[in-house]
Structures are given as C-alpha cells and as structure tokens.
Amino acid sequence: QKEVEQNSGPLSVPEGAIASLNCTYSDRGSQSFFWYRQYSGKSPELIMFIYSNGDKEDGRFTAQLNKASQYVSLLIRDSQPSDSATYLCAVSYSGGGADGLTFGKGTHLIIQP
C-alpha cells in the first residue's frame, strides 16, 4: 500500500518568514513528486514537481527531494497571507502525470500578518 504522510498542522508562520512543509512516502519505487496547494472548497492547484534528488527552485518556492530518506519538502520564502492554504504532497509511481497520484492528507498552513 502506497502511503504519503504529512503533518496535518496547523503550521503557523509569521508573514515574511520561511514556511517549511514536509512529506514522507512509503513506496521506494516512486518516481515523481508534486506539491499542490488547495484552498478551502477548491480543487488542488500545482505548485511544483520534482523528480531528481536535490533542490528545485521556482520563485519563492523550493522543493527538496531525498529519495534515500524517502522525504520531500517544500520551502516557501517571504510567506504572504495569501499563501495560507492546505498544502498537499503527492507521489506518482511513474514519471510525470502518467499515473494517478497518491496524496497525503495535507498540511494546513496559516501565515500570520
């Protein structure tokens, strides 16, 4: 059974600080890793994907992947109140969007003005 674990939070971070979100996964064969943001009552929107070990940066967001530790993280720099949402970590056994995604339960992030 493929599992993706996240701390449900809430994680409270002051505006302008760095928010750090973590995720672990159980299936060593997982190939693709995604971070989605979900506002209450809305569907998920993609923030970033990462396939290789190391860091990947996109604007204020940095995804980090460590396959040996089966660990994925998302850093949000200069956090804004609009970043307040639930962040979902998702994993795929295959590359890209070829297979359905296994999601974690999400971390509720609150950015305090």
**Would you tell me which residues interact with other proteins (CB under 8 A)?**
4, 32, 34, 36, 41-46, 49, 51, 88, 90, 95-106
| Nearer residue to other proteins within complex by CB, 79 or 85 | 85
CB of 66 to other proteins, least distance (A): 20
CB of 7 to other proteins, least distance (A): 13
CA dist., res. 24 & res. 20, Å (int): 14
Q: How many residues does the chain have?
A: 113
Q: Which residues on adjacent β-strands are paired with residue 90?
A: 34, 103
Q: Which residues on adjacent β-strands are paired with residue 64?
A: 55, 73
| Nearer residue to other proteins within complex by CB, 32 or 79 | 32
Residue 111 · residue 84 · CB < 8 Å: yes
| Nearer residue to other proteins within complex by CB, 24 or 36 | 36
| Nearer residue to other proteins within complex by CB, 79 or 107 | 107
Q: Which pair of tokens denotes residue 103?
A: 């999601």
CB of 106 to other proteins, least distance (A): 6
What is the DSSP track for 68-82? TTTEEEEEESS--GG
